[in-house]
A = this chain, B = another copy of it.
Amino acid sequence: MTVEDAGQSRSKVTITAIAQEAGVSVPTVSRVVNGRSDVSPETRARVEDLLRRHGYQRRVAAAARERAGLLDLVFSDLDSPWAVEIIRGVEEVAHAAGMGTVVSATHGRTGATRQWMENLRDRASDGVILVTSAIEPPLQEELRRLDVPVVVVDPEGSPALETPTVGATNWAGGMAATEHLLELGHRRIGFIAGPARLLCSRARMDGYRTALEAADVPADEALVVRGDFYHESGFTGCQALMDLPEPPTAIFASSDQMALGAIEALRRRGLRVPDDISVIGFDDLPEMRWASPPLTTVRQPLAEMGKVAARTVLRQSRGEELDSPRVELATELVVRASTAPPRDQAAAPATPAAAPAPTAAPS
C-alpha cells in the first residue's frame, strides 16, 4: 500500500507507508510515534510532518474513542513471583482511568502468542504492557503492525528494545546490599549470581564487586557461584559456598527465591540465620516479610513499575511525547532480621556506628 492510497482512505495509513515516503526504516517511524528521543531532529521533523499530513495522529485520536477501554498485560507465565505485584500496579492506574486490565499468559508457546495476538486485534485494546521477554521478535514486529502502543516492564533488564521500558536500578541495588553487609563488619561475602544471559544479573554482580572494591575488600572468585534466580539454585549455591575451606560469613543471594533456598540449606546444616551467618536477598517479594527470619533484601518496586508502565502506555495512546524511552525506578534496601554482624566480630574491623542492632535475636 502506498501513501497515495493512504491519502484516499485516510484511516488506513500505516507507519510502513510513512516510512517509505520519509525514506527511513519502519522502526524509526515507530520511534517517533512512540515519542522516543533517539531519532535525529531532522528525521523526527520529516516523519512528524508526514504523520501530520497523512492524518496519522488524528487517526489515533479518533480510534481512541472507539477503543474498548482495555489495557493488555502479558506475561510469559503467571507463576512468576512478580506477577501479582505488577498486575496490582497496572490495575490501579487502569482502574483510575476507567479501563479494564486484560491479563494473559503466553506460556512461552508460539501458538498461544498468536492466538493472543488475534484476540488483541479483535478486542481493540488501547495499549499493551509486556512483562520481560514475553513476546519473541517476530511477534514484536506483528504488534508493531497493529499500531497499538507497547511498553515493556522489565524486572530482568533486557537489551535495548524498540519499545519504551520500565526497569529498576539493579546495579545500585547490588551495591546497597553489599554495602549493608560490609557495614555490619562482614569481609567474606558470598554471592549467588543469576543467569549470565540476563542484564540484571550482571548489573547486580557488578554492584557487588564495586562495593567490595570501594571498601578495599579483595574479591575472592571462589565466593561467587552461579544460580538461575530459582529456589533450588540458592540451595545448591549456598551448599557450595559453605563447603569452601574458608566459608563466607554472609551471603548475598541476588534473588529472594535463592535467598530462601540458601536459608533452607543453612537450616539443614544446623546453622542459624543471622546468628551464625547473614543472608540478604533481592526483589522484596511480598511474602519475604513472613519468612523466618524475615528477610533483609533489596526492594524492586514492582507495583510501581506496573503503574509507570500503565501511565506510559496511556500517554502514548493519547499521542503524548514520553520523557524518556527507558525509565529505571530506584531499588531500596529493606533491613529485616536475616542480617547481623559476623559471629566472630573481633576478627573483622568493627564499624559499630554503621551497624544496626540485630533485630531478631531470640527473645
Contact = CB atoms under 8 A, between A and B. Distances in A.
Contacts of A103: 87, 91, 101-103
Residue picked from A91, A102, A263, A362, most chain B C-beta under 10 Å? A102
A82 to B, nearest CB: 10
**Number of chain copies forming the complex:** 2
Given A78-B88, A79-B286, A91-B105, A293 B270 contact: no
Interface string A70-104: 10100000110101100110011001001111111
Contacts of A119: 69, 98-100
Interface in A127-145: none
A79 B88 contact: yes
Given A83-B84, A103-B101, A95 B122 contact: no
A360 interface: yes
Nearest to A92: B105
A294 interface: yes
Interface size class, chain A: 35 or more
A98 B95 CA distance: 24
Given A261-B290, A362-B269, A102 B104 contact: no
A52 interface: no
A260 interface: yes
A245 to B, nearest CB: 20
A270 B286 CA distance: 25
Interface in A266-307: 267-270, 285-287, 289-294
Interface of A: 68-70, 72, 78-79, 81, 83-84, 87-88, 91-92, 95, 98-105, 112, 115-116, 118-119, 122-123, 231, 257, 260-261, 263-264, 267-270, 285-287, 289-294, 360, 362-363
10 contacts: A70-B70, A79-B84, A84-B84, A99-B119, A100-B102, A101-B104, A102-B103, A231-B289, A231-B290, A268-B360
